[in-house]
Amino acid sequence: MKSQKKFIAKLHRISQPFLCLILLSTACLFFTGCKRNTEPISRTGFYFDTVIQITLYDTEDTSILDGCFELAETYEQLFSATVEGSDVWNINHSGGKDVIVSEETISILETSINYAVMTNGALDPTIRPVSELWPFGSEDEPHVPAEADIKEALSHVSYQNIQMRCADTPEITQSGHSTVSLGDADASIDLGAVAKGYIADQMKAYLLSQNVHSACISLGGNVLVIGEKPDHSPFRIGIQEPFAPEGTSLGTVEIRDTSMVTSGIYERCFYEGDVFYHHILDTATGYPVDNELAAVTILCPSSTKADIVSTACMCLGLEKGRLLLEDFPDVEYMLITKDGTQYCSDGFFLN
């Protein structure tokens, strides 16, 4: 217990994104096989409060990497809850007034609300009043918020507070702008469960438009690969073993032209006394979700779906999560319980 607690205390400041990048350093940057005409080009940066890495295998044009990071900057200016002046920041600080937003902000909010409905509010984009109370990933000494503060924050959590008016609706056709407001002025939005997946999909579309057909996009552990390696072999992506020392691989998954996203309770977490706390919060209690699951890995062509479904399953737990997954024929999955039991779909192969 003491050794695990010491490791958790060290790990709570390190997010899943960074851990996955360590595994990807071998999975994405090196491969064997037939000789290539070009060497891969890669760039790393820091966006969305995490490390991101883009690696291109079939081009030497670094201006394409420039374009990827310009997209990262653009979307951070739209979706970040902490960047002053972003669409989400403006909504959260509007006092309940209408805020003009981009069509992409409308799109990602619609996706978030759809999954909130699908999960009966277990996954809710208005969780931010609660999540702000918990110091996961901050430089502050981790601590459990006061129960009264959690209760107050919970009273402002409801996706039904999000009110959207799209540009093509009759009442605002003259303005030509879409707007978002919050029915509760003290409510606030956090798109952390879906934003990186959405951005990865947009980067993929951009890269394909630039005639890139072999690439690896890692946005804080949300991994999307385009095509296959130039030698026609699949990409091999490692999966971190829950609670094991950093870089301990549970196994690898071979993927082509798809996305892999893992959510788990072991990335941002801490102990207070002998009680374990992690960053995936229960919208009913305001405390970390308490169910059988330690980690969920989702494979899906859509990184947006992989991202939000992985978190939704963590919020729902093993049985309800598996029921949700039955609705998605394009998803393969591995659910890992706290005792290490693995539940895999028929098309999920761990090597």
List domains and CATH numbers for the chain: 2-77+193-344 (3.10.520.10), 87-182 (1.10.3980.10)
Task: Give pLDDT tens digits for 214-224.
Answer: 999 999 879 99
Whether 297 shows a pLDDT value over 80: the answer reads yes
- Once rounded to an integer, what is the mean pLDDT over residues 32-50? 76
- Once rounded to an integer, what is the mean pLDDT over residues 217-239? 94
Whether 151 shows a pLDDT value over 60: the answer reads yes
Question: What is the pLDDT at residue 244?
Answer: 83
Whether 77 shows a pLDDT value over 80: the answer reads yes
Whether 188 shows a pLDDT value over 80: the answer reads yes
Distance, CA of 21 to CA of 141 (rounded, Å)? 26
Provide the pLDDT confidence category of residue 20 given band limits of 50, 70 and 90. Answer: very low
Provide the pLDDT confidence category of residue 26 given band limits of 50, 70 and 90. Answer: very low
Question: What is the pLDDT at residue 22?
Answer: 36
Least confident of 20-34, 111-125, 167-181: 20-34
Whether 2 shows a pLDDT value over 70: the answer reads no
Whether 137 shows a pLDDT value over 80: the answer reads no
Please tell me which residue, 337 or 241, carries the higher pLDDT value. 337
- Once rounded to an integer, what is the mean pLDDT over residues 172-184? 79
The alpha carbon of 110 is separated from its chain's Cα centroid by a whole number of angstroms, namely 16
